[in-house]
Amino acid sequence: MPEVPLRGLRVLELGSTVAAAYCARLLAGFGAGVTRLELPGQSGPGDYAPVVQKALSAYLNAGKESVALDLNAPSGRKLFGELLAGADVLIEDLPFELAEKWGINIHSLEPVNPQLILTSISPFGRSGPYRAYKANELVVFHMSGLGYMTPREIGGRSGREKWEPLKGPGQIAYFYAGLSAAGATMCALLARERIKKGQHVDIAILECLLPLLRRELAVYLYQGIIPSRFTRSRGIAPLGIRRCRDGYVFVQIMEERQWQGFVEMMDNPEWAKDERFKDQESRYRNCEALDPLVNAWLSQHSKEEICREAQKRKVPFAAVNSLEDLFTFPQLVEHQYFLPVSTEDGRSFPAPGCPAKFSTFRWGEGR
């Protein structure tokens, strides 16, 4: 059995969303012994369609044990105390009122286990004026400002003024929060070695998302410009996600030599000599005339063909992979990124692994 870094670490998961479940899943992959504390009526992380819930639960709960726990019953509270006494970490993302009702805070738990690391994940943190507010992933995503920026740079300006703010795909907020919580929990464990006591790690999902806006925040703070999903990057054309013959590609031509390489890719069409497209500023100023011409050429070629020829000429293009593409993407295949996970009914499917690769062990193998 391979030596894994967190073997012997005892983790309790008391969660109701993907955030706590993913945090604990990451620690389990590093060898921690994770026990899920299942509350009455809890079917899995979140509230999703049955087929989604089944697959998500199989992925997030892999490598974990589970214990039924009713914290409203004296027997449940007694069992909880016993589990806490022997635990290193408790990860929780309970609604504020339940955490208060059951005394899930460092002041109440420290007498039970002074060495305990309590990691709390909530929409806005366990302190401050919004601490008791309820918010799901959709709400927090838009309160972070990310929705105001979504979608961005999708092939030309036509119709952009009609687009309302959109939420990004999947459970971005919850997974970012879970990842942040796992890293912060490890820091608290390292600190425990020095200070010889546990502590509270308070994770606000809202604050986990703000670094994704670092560029937009910098533009606002230093230039006084409020970027939005309608803001086209100044002076760049062509730019954005464009349809091609078998899907989509992303293009971002910023330099004159890149434009010349792209013109060569297109076999030097006559329209490329038009005065409206003579330099970068002209192309940006006349992008509404340029975009249909570029799009017409792209529509005749495949993602692989476009990216291969662009790479030869150092022209910045990238294929936009579909979900289906990911499972055959050579880099992910070589890295064996997807790991097999089994559902309760015995079905097996490939699930995301860990983006970190270690020379002495593989994430997800061994406890």
DSSP assignment string, 118-175: EEEEESS-SSSTTTT----HHHHHHHTTTGGG-S---SSSTTGGGPPP-PPSTTHHHH
Predicted confidence (pLDDT) at residue 160 exceeds the cutoff of 60: no
Per-residue pLDDT for 352 more than 60? yes
Q: What is the mean pLDDT of residues 184-199?
A: 97
Residue type, 302: S
φ/ψ (deg, to 5) at 136: -90, -175
pLDDT tens-place string over residues 241-253 = 899 999 999 999 9
Coil, strand or helix at 253: coil
- 243's CB contacts (< 8 A; 6+ apart) are 155, 295, 298, 299
| pLDDT greater than 60 at residue 155 | no
pLDDT band at 234 (very low <50, low <70, confident <90, very high): low
Per-residue confidence band for 152, with pLDDT thresholds at 50, 70 and 90 = low
pLDDT for 73 beyond 90? yes
pLDDT above 70 (res 231): no
pLDDT at 230: 57
pLDDT band at 156 (very low <50, low <70, confident <90, very high): very low
CA 93/CA 16 separation, integer angstroms: 6
pLDDT more than 90, % of the chain: 66
Tokens 């894994």 -> residue:
4
CATH of domain 239-320: 3.30.1540.10
The stretch 137-153 carries a mean pLDDT of: 83
Helix, strand or coil for residue 248?
A: strand
User: Phi-psi region for residue 210, left (φ > 0), alpha (ψ -120 to 50) or beta?
Assistant: alpha
User: Domain residue spans in the chain?
Assistant: 10-211+340-351, 239-320
SS3 35: strand
Q: What value does the mean pLDDT of the chain take?
A: 89
What pLDDT is recorded for position 98?
Answer: 95
Distance between CA 264 and CA 293 in Å, rounded? 15
Q: What is the pLDDT of residues 258-271, one digit of tens each?
A: 999 999 999 999 99
Using pLDDT thresholds of 50, 70 and 90, give the confidence band for residue 213.
confident
Residue 232 pLDDT exceeds 80: no
Name the CATH architecture for the domain at 10-211+340-351: 3-Layer(aba) Sandwich (3.40)
Q: Do domains 10-211+340-351 and 239-320 have the same CATH topology?
A: no
Is residue 13 within 8 Å of 88, Cβ to Cβ? no
